[in-house]
Amino acid sequence: MITKGEEMEQRGVEQVAALMCTAARTAPKGRGIDNLTTLVVTGSDLQKLSAEMRRISEECEAPFFARDAANVDASRAVVLLGQRLAPFNLPACGYCGFKDCKEAVAANAACAISAGDLGIASLSAAAVAARHHVDNRIMFTVGRAALNLGLFGDDRITMAYGIPLSVSGKSPYFDRK
């Protein structure tokens, strides 16, 4: 049996994406509370994601969304990490800018500890891709588009990042214009 390199590379990207989701899940979480959701987008769903990014670019006059959409088009998969920004009710925190979680919830503010957990999970996932020599880049633009499209299926997820993955002769995420 002969399997072409392109098929093997796609399999490899999907295996790395699975390992990235595992790393994100096991990343440290504040108070041990896990509010993370992971998804992997491949195939025609990548085009839906990049189309939403282009729509946002036009609607908000934000060309970097279109630039990042071109990066998604050049990707074999995207790992999505979404976070429910539930308050942790930590005394003497105030990292969100409010006196306590009660004030933050009343103001509909994002919990900084919960947002930090998403960042740590994203870095853990990206490190796995890097260790396996899969080009990647953490992008808030991809997460915003995923939230707009309701890909997580959970309205409580209000913050997300996407990590596109590429296997090619040159990373599409470097020297971007």
**Per-residue pLDDT at 42:** 97
Q: What pLDDT does 23 receive?
A: 98
Give SS3 for 40.
strand
Cα–Cα distance, 121 to 127 (Å, whole number): 10
Does the pLDDT of residue 152 top 80, yes or no?
yes
Asked whether the beta carbons of 96 and 109 are under 8 A apart, the reply is yes
CATH number at residue 139: 3.40.109.10
Q: What is the distance, to the nearest Å, from the Cα of residue 126 to the centroid of all Cα atoms in its chain? A: 10
pLDDT at position 175 = 81
Question: Helical H runs in 27-167?
Answer: 44-60, 63-73, 101-106, 112-131, 140-149
> Does the pLDDT value for residue 177 go beyond 90?
no
Average pLDDT over residues 48-73: 98
Q: Which residues have C-beta within 8 Å of that of residue 12, sequence separation ≥ 6?
A: 132, 134, 167
Tell me the residue range of the domain where 35 lies. 5-166
173 lies in a domain?
A: no
pLDDT of 53 > 80? The answer is: yes
Q: Could you tell me if residue 174 is inside a domain?
A: no
Is 175 contained in some domain?
Answer: no
Q: What is the pLDDT of residue 85?
A: 87
Q: Are strands 135-136 and 77-84 parallel, antiparallel or unpaired?
A: unpaired
**Position 174 pLDDT exceeds 90:** no
- Give Cα separations from 128 to 20, 23, 144 (angstroms): 6, 7, 23
The rounded Cα 57 to chain-centroid distance in angstroms is: 18
Query: What percent helix, strand, coil does the chain show, rounded to 5?
Result: 50, 15, 35
Q: What residues pair up with 82 in beta bridges, in sequence order?
A: 37, 160
- Residue pair 42/76 in contact (Cβ under 8 Å)? The answer is yes
Dihedral, CA of residue 76, residue 52, residue 156 and residue 32, to nearest 10: 30
Does the pLDDT at position 91 exceed 90? no
Question: What pLDDT, on a 0 to 100 scale, did the predictor assign at position 55?
Answer: 98
The neighbour count for residue 59, using CB atoms within 10 Å, is: 9
**Percent over 70 (pLDDT), the chain:** 99
Domain count, the chain: 1
Tell me if 177 is assigned to some domain. Answer: no
Question: What is the average pLDDT across 42-59?
Answer: 98
Please indicate, yes or no, if residue 60 is contained in any of the structural domains: yes
Please check whether residue 127 lies inside any domain of the structure: yes
Average pLDDT of the chain is 96
pLDDT score of 118 more than 80: yes
Domain contains 34: yes
Q: Which of 21-35, 84-98, 115-129 bottoms out in mean pLDDT, i.e. has the lowest?
A: 84-98
Is 68 part of a structural domain of the chain? yes
**pLDDT at position 153:** 97
136 has pLDDT over 90: yes
Determine the average pLDDT of the residues in 131-137. 98
Per-residue pLDDT at 44 exceeds 90: yes
Cα(177)–Cα(173) distance, integer angstroms: 10
The residue-averaged pLDDT of 21-50 equals: 97
